[in-house]
Amino acid sequence: MQAASDIFLGWTEDDAAARHFYVRQLKKRRLGSISELVEENALIHYASLCGRTLARTHARSADPVVLAGYMGKSGAFDDALASFAMAYADRTQSDYDKLAKSKWAPSNKR
Question: What is the mean pLDDT for each group of 10 consecutive residues in the chain (110 residues)?
Answer: 61 83 61 64 78 77 79 89 94 91 68
Phi/psi for 13 (5° steps) reads: -130, 140
pLDDT for position 15: 86
pTM of the model: 0.41
What CA–CA distance (Å, rounded) separates 36 from 25? 17
b/e sequence 58-80, b meaning 16+ C-beta within 10 Å: eeeeeeeeeeeeeeeeeeeeeee
What CA–CA distance (Å, rounded) separates 99 from 42? 15
| Cβ-contact 59, 49 below 8 angstroms | no
pLDDT for position 80: 92
